[in-house]
Structure 1
Amino acid sequence: MTELGTDHRTDDRTDHRTELGVGIGWRPEIAGAVEALAGVDWVEVVAENVCAGHLPDSLARLRARGVTVVPHGVSLGLGGADRPDAGRLADLAATATALGAPLVSEHIAFVRAGGALTATPALEAGHLLPVPRTWDALDVLCENVRIAQDSLPVPLALENIAALIAWPGEELTEGQFLAELVERTGVRLLIDVANLHTNHVNRGESPSKALSELPVEAIAYVHVAGGLARDGVWHDTHAHPVPEPVLDILSDLASRVSPPGVLLERDDNFPPAEELASELATIRGRLESVAARTAAGSGEQDMNGRHGAGGARARVADPALLIGAGARVSGGPMPQCGRTTDAPGAPELPEEAQDPGTHTTRPAPGARPLPGGAARERVAVAQAALLSALVAGTPVPEGFDSRRLGVQSRALVGKRSDVIAKIAPELPEILGDGYRPAFRAYARTRPMSGGYRRDALDFVAQLLVAGQPEDPDARRRLTRWWQERAGARPPGPAGRLVRAARAARTALVRR
Structure 2
Amino acid sequence: MERLGTGIGWRPEIADAVEAMPGIDWVEVVAENVCPGHLPESLLRLRERGVTVVPHGVALGLGGADRPDEGRLTALAERVEALGSPLVTEHIAFVRAGGPLTASPRLEAGHLLPVPRTRDALDVLCENIRIAQDALPVPLAVENIAALIGWPGEELTEGQFLYELADRTGVHLLIDVANLHTNHVNRGEDPAKALAELPLEAIAYVHVAGGFERDGVWHDSHAHPVPRPVLDILEDLASRVRPPGVLLERDENFPEPAELERELASIRGAVEAGRSVRESAGSAGPGAEDLTARPEASDHSPDHGSGRGPAPDEAARQRLGLAQAALLSALVAGTPVPEGFDRARLRVQARALAAKRAEVVAKVAPELPEILGRGFRAAFLGYAQRHPMTGGYRHDALAFAEHLLHDGEVGGARARRELRTWWLDRSGPTPRHRPHTRLARATRKVLLRR
TM normalised by structure 2 equals: 0.90
Q: Find out whether 1:409 has 2:350 as its counterpart.
A: yes
Distance in 2 of aligned mates of 1:135 and 1:21: 35
1:282 maps to which residue?
266
- Pairwise mapping of residues 345-494 of structure 1 onto structure 2 (< 5 A)? 369-488=310-429
Q: Does 1:255 align with 2:239?
A: yes
Cα distance in structure 2, aligned partners of 1:89 and 1:77: 11
1:222-250 CA-partner distances (Å, limit 9, x unpaired): 00000011243100000000000000000
User: Residues 98 and 105 of structure 2 are in contact (CA less than 8 Å); yes or no, is this contact kept in structure 1?
Assistant: yes
Aligned partner of 1:151 among 129, 135, 138: 135
Structure 1 segments, 4+ long, off by >3 Å, are 292-295, 309-314, 494-499
1:50 paired to 2:34: yes
Q: How far, CA to CA, are the matches of 2:93 and 2:440 in structure 1?
A: 37
Q: Please, which moves more after superposition, 35-44 or 81-90?
A: 35-44
* Conserved 8 A contact 1:255-1:311: no
Shift of 1:311: 7.9
Matches within 5 A, 1:216-365: 216-295=200-279, 297=280, 308-309=282-283, 312=286
CA contact (8 A) 1:291 1:313 kept: no
Q: Name the aligned partner's letter for residue 160 of structure 1.
A: N
8 Å CA contact 1:392–1:447 kept in 2: the answer is yes
Distance 1:231 1:464 in 2: 38
Aligned amino acid, residue 396 of structure 1 = V
Per mean C-alpha deviation after superposition, the further-off stretch among 465-474 and 208-217 is 465-474
2:69 is matched with which residue: 81, 85, 95? 85
Distance 2:148 2:439 in 1: 39
The separation in 1 between residues aligned to 2:309 and 2:20, in whole angstroms, is 52
AA at the equivalent of 2:61: G
Per-residue deviation, 1:495: 4.4
3-state DSSP of counterpart to 1:438: helix
Q: Which amino acid aligns with 1:105?
A: T
- Root mean square deviation, CA, Å: 2.0
Determine the C-alpha separation between the residues in 2 that align with 1:34 and 1:68: 13
The answer for the alignment partner of 2:24 in structure 1 is 40
Preserved contact between residue 201 and residue 234 of structure 1 (Cα < 8 Å): yes
Amino acid at match of 1:437: A
Question: In 2, are the aligned partners of 1:231 and 1:407 still within 8 Å (CA)?
Answer: no
**CA deviations over 1:386-424 (Å, ceiling 9, x no partner):** 001001111000000111111000110111111111111
Q: How many residues align?
A: 419
Give the alignment's TM-score, normalised by structure 1.
0.79
Structure 2 vs 1, CA of residues 290 and 373 (structure 1 numbering), >3 Å: closer, same or farther?
same
1:161 corresponds to 2:102: no
Q: Label 1:148 to 1:93 Cα distance change in 2 as closer, same or farther (>3 A).
A: same
* Largest Rg, 1 or 2: 1
Please give the alpha-carbon distance, in whole angstroms, between the structure 2 residues aligned to 1:188 and 1:388: 32
Letter paired with 1:369: P
Structure 2, unpaired ranges of 5+ = 289-307, 432-437, 444-450
2:388 is paired with a residue whose SS is coil
Once the two structures are TM-superposed, the CA of residue 203 in structure 1 deviates from its matched residue by: 0.2
Distance 1:459 1:56 in 2: 30
SS in 2 for 1:194: helix
Distance 1:25 1:461, change over 3 A: same
Conserved? CA contact 1:164–1:408, under 8 Å = yes
Q: Secondary structure at the match of 2:373?
A: helix
Please list the CA deviations of residues 70-101 of structure 1 after superposition, one character each: whole Å capped at 9, or x if unmatched. 00000000000000000000000000000000
Tell me how far apart the structure 1 counterparts of residues 88 and 12 of structure 2 sit (CA, whole Å): 19
SS of the residue aligned with 2:175?
A: strand
Over 3 Å counting, the alpha-carbon distance change for 1:78 and 1:489 in structure 2 is: closer
Work out whether residues 380 and 400 of structure 2, in 8 Å CA contact, stay in contact via their aligned partners in 1.
yes
Specify the alignment match of 2:300 in structure 1: none
Q: CA deviation at 1:489?
A: 9.4
Amino acid at match of 2:385: R
Tell me the CA shift for residue 474 of structure 1: 1.8
Q: Could you list the per-position Cα deviations for residues 191-226 of structure 1 after superposition, in whole angstroms to 9, with x for gaps in the alignment?
A: 000000000000000000000001011000000000
1:184 is paired with a residue whose SS is helix
Letter of the structure 1 residue corresponding to residue 9 of structure 2:
G
